[in-house]
Amino acid sequence: MSGRFVRLAETGRKTFPITVDGVVREAAEGDTLMVALLTGTNTLRDSEFGDGRRAGFCLMGACQDCWVWTAQGERVRACSTPVAPGMSIVTKLADAGEGVWPRA
C-alpha cells in the first residue's frame, strides 16, 4: 500500500517490524511513529470528534492531531515519538462507541 509519505533515496538504515492495528508493517531506524505510519497509509487515526480519519497537522507536537495509542493503552504523539522495534500501535476507535479509545 502506498502512503502519504514516500521515502526517497533511503540507504543504510536498519528496518524492523512494528504492529499497527494488528497488521505487521516495516519501520526504519530513526523514524518517528508518524513517518512509520504514513509511509504505509494515508491517515493516522480515527477522530474522536466525528466520523473522519486524521493525518496529523503541524508535525511538531503542538496541534494534538496525531495522538495514537500503544496496545498497552499509553497515548503518544506520533509526530514526536521515536518508533521502536516491536511497537504495537492502535489507531482505530474501539467498537464500544465513538470517542472511546482502547485501554489495557
Domain CATH code at residue 40: 3.10.20.440
37 φ, ψ (degrees, to nearest 5): -75, -45
* pLDDT value at residue 57: 73
Confirm if 54 and 63 have CB atoms less than 8 A apart: no
Does residue 29 sit within a domain? yes
Residue 60 lies in domain: 15-90
Q: Which residue has the higher pLDDT, 2 or 100?
A: 2
Sign of CA dihedral 33, 37, 42, 43: negative
Count the residues in the chain. Answer: 104
Average pLDDT over residues 11-28: 90
Which stretches of 1-104 are DSSP H helices?
A: 33-38
pLDDT at 19 > cutoff 90: yes
* pLDDT value at residue 104: 46
For residue 19, the Cα-to-chain-centroid distance in whole angstroms is 10
pLDDT tens digits along 81-103: 999 999 999 888 664 344 555 54
Q: 44: exposed, middle or buried (C-beta count within 10 Å: 0-12, 13-18, 19+)?
A: buried
Does residue 66 sit within a domain? yes
* Rounded CA separation 61/78 (Å): 8
* Structural domain total, the chain: 1
Does residue 98 sit within a domain? no
Does residue 36 sit within a domain? yes
Does residue 51 sit within a domain? yes
pLDDT tens digits along 27-63: 999 999 998 888 887 778 777 777 777 777 777 777 7
* pLDDT value at residue 97: 43
* Rounded CA separation 23/91 (Å): 11
* pLDDT value at residue 67: 86
Does residue 9 sit within a domain? no
Lowest mean pLDDT among 12-26, 57-71, 88-102: 88-102
Does residue 96 sit within a domain? no
Does residue 65 sit within a domain? yes
* Rounded CA separation 103/29 (Å): 27
